[in-house]
Each structure stands twice: as C-alpha cells, then as structure tokens.
A and B are shown apart, each in its own frame.
Chain A
Amino acid sequence: MTTSLSSLICSLVPAARVNAVLRQDLTAQCQDILSSHIGQSHEVDFNQVVDAIKRKLLRNAPGGTDVLKFTNLLARLLKQHILSRKPEVLSFLTSVAFQEDPSLNPSSLFTRPPSPRRALKSKPATQVKQEPTSRQDTSTGRSKAQILREHRQSKSLHYAPEELLLRDSIYILQGITGKYIQFSSSDEDDDRIVFLEDQVTRYTVSPSTKALVHRLAELGYLYRRVDNFIRERETASGIGMIEQSLCHHLQSQLKEYYRLIAVLETQALSSIPQTGLERSNDNLASETGVSLKRLDVWLNDWRLRMRMMSVCVEGAREAQGGALVNLIHSYTDNGDPFVRNFTHQLLEEVSCPFFATLHKWLFSGDLYDPYGEFFVAVDTTLGPTQVAHPSSLSGGINEISADGGFGAQGGDPDDFAGPPQQGGKLWENKYQLREAMLPNFVGKSSGTKARILSTGKSLNFIRYSCHDSEWVVTREKMSSFRGTLKYSDVNGLEKSIDSAYRLASHRLFEVFIEKFKLLDHLSALKHYLFLGHGDFADQLMDALGPSLAKPANALYRHNLTATLETAIRSSNAQHDTPDVLRRLDARMLEYSHGEIGWDVFTLEYKVDAPIDTVLDALAMEGYLKLFRHLWQMKRVEKTLDRSWSRVISGARTFIRVPELEHEWHKIRISISEMIHFIRQVEAYCRLEVIECSWKVLIDFLNKKEGDLDSIIGAHRTYLDRVVKKIFLWNMKLGKEEVVHNMMKDAFAIVLMYREAMENFYNHCLSEAARRDQAADEQRGVFTGKYEPSASEDVAQTLTTRLHQYGQNFSDKVQSIVQHLQVHPDLDCRFLAIRLSFSDYYKSRKEARS
C-alpha cells in the first residue's frame, strides 16, 4: 500500500523523487485523505457510474461517438475477469475526470439520494449484496447496519444472493424444491417452506426477503394442489364428465402458467449470464432483469387465478356433477370483475357436458349420464332399458328409427306383458329429480326444473313406452327451435326449455288421446263400472241375480264371464268397440266363509301400458270400490222394484185376507219410502256426482294443455271427487265413513225388509189359499185336505218384524239426513234436502219427540 502510494507520488510529483521530506509529507497527507470519510457516504452503484460517464461524454461530444466508444470499451471490460472491483475503478476514473472539469461538481452527482424508483429496485440487491472487502473502516461513528453487517461477517453468514433465491423461487413456483428454499415435506397438505440457511450453504436470508419468497411460494403450493388433482383424476376411473372438463380447463390454465414460468426463467437466465460468478453483474440484473419483487408483481394476477382454481379443486373433492357446477356458479356473483370473468370462463367450459346432457334430455328424451351427474336420476330397474349413445344426439332420423324405439315390440293387442302397474310406476318413478345436482342458473324459476323433467320424461315415454312412430315428427319440430345450449345464453335456454316442453307435452297428449284412446277408456269405465249403461246393468243384474244369491264358493268365474258375455250381447253394450269389451271382465274377490255371491262379485276393467300411467292401480281400486257400492245400490233398487210389483199387483190380485189389508198398506208406505230414498240417492250419484265430475274432466282434456302429469292429476281429482261424494265422506277426522256405513246399513235393512215381506206374502198367500179351500168345502167342493189355520201369531211375528224393519229403516234414513244436513260438502247437503224434501223426517222427528 505504502509502496504503491509512494510510486504514485513519485509519478505525479516529480519533485518528490529527489525531495525525501516532501515525499514523506505527501505520503502522510495522502494517507490522511485515504482514511478520511471521503466517498464513504454512499455505495458505489455500477449503473449510476456508467450513466454519469455517458452523460458527461455526451455533453463533451454531442455526436455520441465517444459514448459509443465507451460502451464498447465497457463491454470489453466486463468480459475481463481480472478485476474484482470494476465499479470502483470506474468510479475512480470518473472522479478524476470530473476533477479535471471544474464546471461540474462531482459530489452533486454522487451524493444525491437515489430516486425512489431506483431505491425500490435496488433495495434487495443491496440487502443481499455481499461485502467481501475488509473496509478500512476505522471511524467510530458506524451505523447500526454496519455493525450488524460486521457481526454477520464475523460469523461468516451472508445474505443469500438474490439470483440464487430467484432461481429457487422459480423452482418453487413449479412445485419443485430448490437448493436453498424447500418445501418442508413432500406432503401436499403441509404448506410450509423452509429456508436452508445452515453452515453448509453459509447463506442467510433476511426476513423481508423471506416474506417475499413466502408470497411466491403460495403459488407453488397452489400449483402443486391443482396439479396433483389433475394427475389424480387422469389416472382414476369413473370420473364424471363435468369433472373431466374441469380438469381440462385447469390443464389449459396450467399450460398458460407454464408458459409464463418459461418466459420468466429465460428472462432470469439471460439477465444473469454467469450466475453467481460475477458480482459486478448483480446490479445490472436487478436493473433490467427479474428480481424477486418483480416476480411477485408479475405473478400477482396468477395468484388470484390459482386460488380460484384451488377452490374449484377443493370443491370437486366433495361435490360432483351439477353440484360442482353449482359451486362454481356461486362465485359468479362476485364483485371482483377478475373473479367473475374467470368463473364465467370456467363455467362456460365446465358446463359443456352438462348442457350436452340437458340437450339430449330435452330434445331426445334420452338420459345419457354415465356418471350420475345430471339432475335427473334414472331408476334402471324400471321400464325398458334403452341404450342411449351420444351419436343419436346428432344422428339423423334414420338412426333414431333404427334404435328400436318402436317396432321391437309392436302393439300386439292381446299382449298384456309385464305387471299391470308398470306404466304408472314407470312414469312416476323412473326419472326423479336430484335437487343437489340442479345448477342454479337453470332452476332459477321453480317451474323450470319441473318442466325440464317433464319434457324429457314425456319424450322418453313417447319413445319407449308408447312406441310412437310419429315422435320423429315432434323431434323435427323441436329441432327447429333448438340452438346450442350454452351457459352464456341462459335466456335462450329458458326459451328452448319452454318450447320443448310445450311440444313434448302436446305430443304426449295427442298420443294418449288419439293413439291410445284415453277418452274411450275413461268413458268405458264410466259406462260399465259406474253403471252408466243402464240397460247393460239391468241385463247383468237379471242374468246374474239368481247365481249371486248362492254362496261365494259355489260360484265359478267362467260362469260369471259367460253371464257377462250374455249381458253384453243383449244390451247396447254390444255396439261398443271390441277393444273396450275385451278389457271387461267379471271377477270374484277374495271370499271368506259364509259370504254369498253378491258380496264378492265385481266387474273389472283391464288396462295395460301405457294407459295404466293414468289409470294406475290405485285409480282402478277406486273404480272397483265405487262399482261395488253402485252395484249394491242397483241391487237394492232392483229388489225394491220387484217388491213393489209384488205389493201392487200380486198382493191385490191373489190375496184375499181382509184383516191383513191394513198391513199391506203399511208395507206399501214403507216400500215407497225406501224407493224414494234409493231413487234420490241414485239420482244424486248419477247426476250430481258422476256427470258433473265427468264434465270437468272432459273440459280439461279438450283444452289439451299441460303434460302427462296434469292428465294424471286431473283424472285423480275426478276419481277422488266421485269417491268422496258417492261415499258421502265427511272430512272430519274419525267420522269419514259414518254416513257411508249408515247407508250400507240402510241397504241391508231394505234387503231384510224385502225378505220379511216375501215371507209375509207367502204367509198371506197360503192363508188365502186355505181360506179358498175352506170356502170350497163349504160349497161342497173338495180341493184338498183342509189344513187348520196357521196360528195367528205367525202372522203376528211377521208383521212385527216388518214393522220393526220399516221403523229401523226410517230411523236410519232420518239419521242419515241429520248427518247430511251438517255435511261440509254442499252437494251432500242438497242430497239431505232431496231425501227429506217436505221436511218429512224433520216433522216425523218432531212428532215422535
């Protein structure tokens, strides 16, 4: 040091070569200057120096050739590795040059505070910058930073150079563990990173840099999660289509991410040609290349995106299919336009398979949902299994007609294949709504989802259950409406759903009414089971009457069916279509010991698929119950008719027992009361219940609105109304069947009365015969052995019984009337008025009380 100083002095001050005193003097002076504070107030910044030199050169020689020359020299200088302190050398040159130029104050250039932008950029560089020189810092006024730095130096701990951290950060971004920064473990859930700052690497990382790296590492962590998810799904089987498309979208996003990382990496590498070898280049790199802070800024956008992706991934673990779409859709209501756009994009892609399924379902009635993601679930145990393949979506008509929708099982009229309730169950249970899978944007209005379900169901039903060959026409009509369904076009979606729904349900209506003659079946049920064809009922009653009086176990079904056949032939029913008559059948219910034919006989109307969708088992049960009740009523009416003829003609013509005339009169009064009762009840059932309900039903069917569900609903209402009113059901709990039971009792009493009357008639007849015999004997004509008169008490018992039954009947009807008067149903109250038209029962009651 001293020798070089003295040589310097010698070369600069030739006088000192000879003058030793002067030389010593100057040496001391120079030592003083060198150890002073000059130039220690700031760090030497390479770029600053270069900039200053260029500026000065430009001022001296405005042509710019000097600057060019200097740049050239600088480039050459940078290639030389012999110097370790290039900035300092340059700084020295500048200082000397500026001293030559008195117009420029060098201190103004070097001591000015760095501009804020520069300060920001160069900060990490200064932080991690090593100070390999042992500075001749002998001054006492050291700053705390300097003390700290020295302490670190003494412990041989250095800040890790930024480019190393940068390289590691870029690794971390790709989920790769770096040399100095590592993921704490390979476990994905452990999201910590650790800095290796031990004795091996001899580097330490300042807390601010750590925070920065942590921020960057979040991306790496998220990336790992997303990437793992995609890998997992790629290899796994049975992944839903929506999830697959989510994976695809994530994959394409990740591709963008890779591209970004590749760009970053090239930038980082190109700005640092010899990473870590040349200290002097650090500052240049921090000026033009990538720094941790810049990385952070550039990746900010991606951080948000990665977070969104990671959220989706999380969601996909728990939800699938429509629920997943739903989950993503819930993020579209975000105030942040970035999040919103991202989700929209994602949804557009993810909802594609959903809409494809929806499209197929809406326009073809096929449910192609191999992974159970759609919001309509199919019960494969029911109904004809169909193989819906994706190609039929885009396929032509030929293909559709070839896929066995019809023709496979043509309408063989005698084919009652399968269990009879299949159709109804098929419609109701085959396809069910899965609420969880319903995307919000589809089911905004509550009706939409029902319409979607109904449309698909209708089409499916038309195709596979009705074997309707003309559904292709419907399909054609629909295809004119359909566009492509997309997430971005929700309004168009609603419109398509509406039109599809209208067409499909209309078609189904037509199929049911025109092809399957629903109306014919309904009226047949009304005519036969509700005894609408009076002549047929009479014939049947007449033909069956005698055999039905026998015990149930003496009846045979073939006899019954033969009788039924006779009844049909001999009545107007023979003009009905064979298809209807074919379905009519006589049957016996399960009977127990002691029951007679009347109790077990029933008429049956057989329905098959697909009509049994409307006329399901439950409805048929209702029909049967009603038939039995009406049949019973008919029987009572018939009985009374016959009784009346006996009372009016027989009793007047043959019986000549004057003392019993009065009894007969009473019987006539009783029977006419009964007839009045049964006629009113029958008229009520026929006119006010059956016909009124029927009109409502027919009106609905003529409107041709709504889908199959509404037909089923209308028919159910019709039947319910009829059942309720005919059975006079009271809505009050526990009293539903009170009036109905009383009615049955009344019927029973009528039948017993008739029996008692028959007995009495026979008694009177034999009495009259006996009296005739006696009269003949008196005239001397022997007509047989005289039998002593039957005891008076036989007639007495018979009349008492008759009287009792008559009284019972009156009481019964009276209480029926009483109940009906307070019945909640208005029609039933009118029945009460009809039954007791002139307040007959009321006055009776008052008279008795």
Chain B
Amino acid sequence: MATRESDRNASAQQTLDILYEMSQLLNTQLTKETLATCIGMIENGVNPDALAAAIQELRRENAAATLSTAQHRDPSVLPR
C-alpha cells in the first residue's frame, strides 16, 4: 500500500513537472505551487476558463496592491 502511495506521489510529481515545463514553455508565469493548486482545482471540476479569468483578476489586483503600497499616500488608488 505504501509503495502504491509513493508511486502515486511520484507520478503526480512527474505530471506536475511536465505541466510546469509546459507552463514555462507557454510563458504563463505561474509558480509551481500555484500551478499545483490550479490543477487540483480543475481536477475538482472547476471550469478552466473561469479559473484563468480569476487568476488574471488576481494578478491585476496584485499589481494594484503593489502599486498602492508603492504610492502609499496616493488616495486615488484604493483597494476595491
């Protein structure tokens, strides 16, 4: 049982590696951890397009947040 579990882990790792390579090839700029999370979500049935949209949204949010921290006093940029 343990070997099967380890096999499973290894293969999961392998899959993740492959997908990460792909993701790099495609220049998605996702980290390995993020990718793993996303794959997990998709495996759980989340719509991939929707997830992509969410990630894009989060990235934009992040950019806004970093911008706001950079211009901390600027009141025009507020977190939504």
List residues of chain A with CB under 8 Å of any chain B CB. 1, 4-5, 7-9, 11-16, 19, 22, 25-26, 29-30, 33-36, 38-40, 44, 53, 56-57, 60, 66, 69-70, 73-74, 76-77, 80-85, 88-97, 99-101, 110, 133-136
Residue in chain A with minimal CB distance to B58: A12
Tell me how far the C-beta of A7 lies from the nearest C-beta in chain B, rounded to whole angstroms.
Answer: 6
List A contacts of B27 (CB < 8 A).
60, 97, 100-101
Known: A1-B41, A8-B38. A96 touches B49 (CB 8 A): no
- Bound together, the chains give a CA A74 to CA B39 distance in angstroms of 16
Q: What mask results when residues 6 to 34 of chain B are scored 1 for a CB within 8 Å of chain A, else 0? A: 00100110110011011101111111011
Residue in chain A with minimal CB distance to B63: A13
Tell me how far the C-beta of A415 lies from the nearest C-beta in chain B, rounded to whole angstroms.
Answer: 104
Is B50 an interface residue when CB atoms closer than 8 A count as contact?
yes
Contact check, B42 vs A85: say whether CB atoms are below 8 A apart. Answer: yes
Is B75 an interface residue when CB atoms closer than 8 A count as contact?
no
13 contacts between A and B (CB under 8 A): A4-B37, A4-B40, A11-B31, A12-B59, A25-B79, A30-B54, A30-B58, A77-B18, A89-B43, A91-B48, A92-B39, A95-B48, A136-B45
The winner among B8, B28, B29, B34 for most chain A CB atoms within 10 A is B28
- Bound together, the chains give a CA A26 to CA B59 distance in angstroms of 11
Known: A4-B37, A70-B22, A92-B42. A33 touches B65 (CB 8 A): no
Q: What are the nearest 7 A-B pairs in CB distance?
A: A39-B49, A95-B52, A92-B48, A97-B26, A15-B65, A13-B62, A12-B58
Tell me how far the C-beta of B64 lies from the nearest C-beta in chain A, rounded to whole angstroms.
Answer: 9
- Bound together, the chains give a CA A77 to CA B41 distance in angstroms of 18
The winner among B22, B40, B56 for most chain A CB atoms within 10 A is B22
Contact check, A12 vs B62: say whether CB atoms are below 8 A apart. Answer: yes
Contact check, B61 vs A92: say whether CB atoms are below 8 A apart. Answer: no
List B contacts of A66 (CB < 8 A).
25
- Bound together, the chains give a CA A35 to CA B49 distance in angstroms of 11
Contact check, A89 vs B19: say whether CB atoms are below 8 A apart. Answer: yes
Tell me how far the C-beta of B58 lies from the nearest C-beta in chain A, rounded to whole angstroms.
Answer: 4
Residue in chain A with minimal CB distance to B56: A99
Is B3 an interface residue when CB atoms closer than 8 A count as contact?
no
Contact check, B22 vs A33: say whether CB atoms are below 8 A apart. Answer: no
List B contacts of A96 (CB < 8 A).
23, 26, 28, 30, 52, 55-56
Known: A26-B58, A30-B57, A92-B38. A110 touches B49 (CB 8 A): yes
Contact check, A73 vs B18: say whether CB atoms are below 8 A apart. Answer: yes
State the majority secondary structure of interface residues on B: helix
- Bound together, the chains give a CA A134 to CA B68 distance in angstroms of 40
Contact check, A97 vs B37: say whether CB atoms are below 8 A apart. Answer: no
Tell me how far the C-beta of A280 lies from the nearest C-beta in chain B, rounded to whole angstroms.
Answer: 13
Tell me how far the C-beta of A278 lies from the nearest C-beta in chain B, rounded to whole angstroms.
Answer: 14
Contact check, B58 vs A9: say whether CB atoms are below 8 A apart. Answer: yes
Contact check, A97 vs B62: say whether CB atoms are below 8 A apart. Answer: no
Contact check, B42 vs A89: say whether CB atoms are below 8 A apart. Answer: yes
A13: contacting residue among B18, B25, B58, CB under 8 A: B58
Contact check, B51 vs A92: say whether CB atoms are below 8 A apart. Answer: yes
List A contacts of B22 (CB < 8 A).
70, 73-74, 77, 90, 93
Tell me how far the C-beta of A52 lies from the nearest C-beta in chain B, rounded to whole angstroms.
Answer: 11
- Bound together, the chains give a CA A832 to CA B11 distance in angstroms of 129
List B contacts of A133 (CB < 8 A).
45
Is B4 an interface residue when CB atoms closer than 8 A count as contact?
no
Known: A11-B34, A15-B65, A100-B28. A39 touches B58 (CB 8 A): no
Tell me how far the C-beta of B53 lies from the nearest C-beta in chain A, rounded to whole angstroms.
Answer: 5
Tell me how far the C-beta of A135 lies from the nearest C-beta in chain B, rounded to whole angstroms.
Answer: 7
List B contacts of A56 (CB < 8 A).
26
Contact check, B26 vs A53: say whether CB atoms are below 8 A apart. Answer: yes
Residue in chain B with minimal CB distance to A6: B37
B50: contacting residue among A39, A53, A81, CB under 8 A: A39
- Bound together, the chains give a CA A38 to CA B54 distance in angstroms of 10
Contact check, B50 vs A36: say whether CB atoms are below 8 A apart. Answer: yes
Contact check, A83 vs B45: say whether CB atoms are below 8 A apart. Answer: no
Known: A13-B58, A15-B69, A82-B8. A73 touches B49 (CB 8 A): no
Contact check, B37 vs A84: say whether CB atoms are below 8 A apart. Answer: no
- Bound together, the chains give a CA A209 to CA B74 distance in angstroms of 66
- Bound together, the chains give a CA A759 to CA B8 distance in angstroms of 149
- Bound together, the chains give a CA A213 to CA B9 distance in angstroms of 43
- Bound together, the chains give a CA A714 to CA B28 distance in angstroms of 109
Contact check, A83 vs B43: say whether CB atoms are below 8 A apart. Answer: yes
List B contacts of A44 (CB < 8 A).
48
Known: A7-B37, A110-B49. A93 touches B28 (CB 8 A): yes
Residue in chain B with minimal CB distance to A84: B43
Tell me how far the C-beta of B55 lies from the nearest C-beta in chain A, rounded to whole angstroms.
Answer: 6
Known: A33-B54, A93-B28, A96-B30. A38 touches B49 (CB 8 A): yes
Contact check, A69 vs B42: say whether CB atoms are below 8 A apart. Answer: no
List B contacts of A40 (CB < 8 A).
47, 49
Is B77 an interface residue when CB atoms closer than 8 A count as contact?
no
Contact check, B50 vs A34: say whether CB atoms are below 8 A apart. Answer: yes
Tell me how far the C-beta of B78 lies from the nearest C-beta in chain A, rounded to whole angstroms.
Answer: 11
List B contacts of A90 (CB < 8 A).
22
Is B76 an interface residue when CB atoms closer than 8 A count as contact?
no
Known: A1-B41, A12-B55, A13-B58. A83 touches B48 (CB 8 A): no
Residue in chain A with minimal CB distance to B38: A92
Tell me how far the C-beta of A232 lies from the nearest C-beta in chain B, rounded to whole angstroms.
Answer: 56
Known: A38-B50, A93-B19. A8 touches B45 (CB 8 A): no
Is B80 an interface residue when CB atoms closer than 8 A count as contact?
yes
Contact check, A83 vs B34: say whether CB atoms are below 8 A apart. Answer: no
The winner among A12, A29, A30, A74 for most chain B CB atoms within 10 A is A12
The winner among B14, B15, B40, B48 for most chain A CB atoms within 10 A is B48
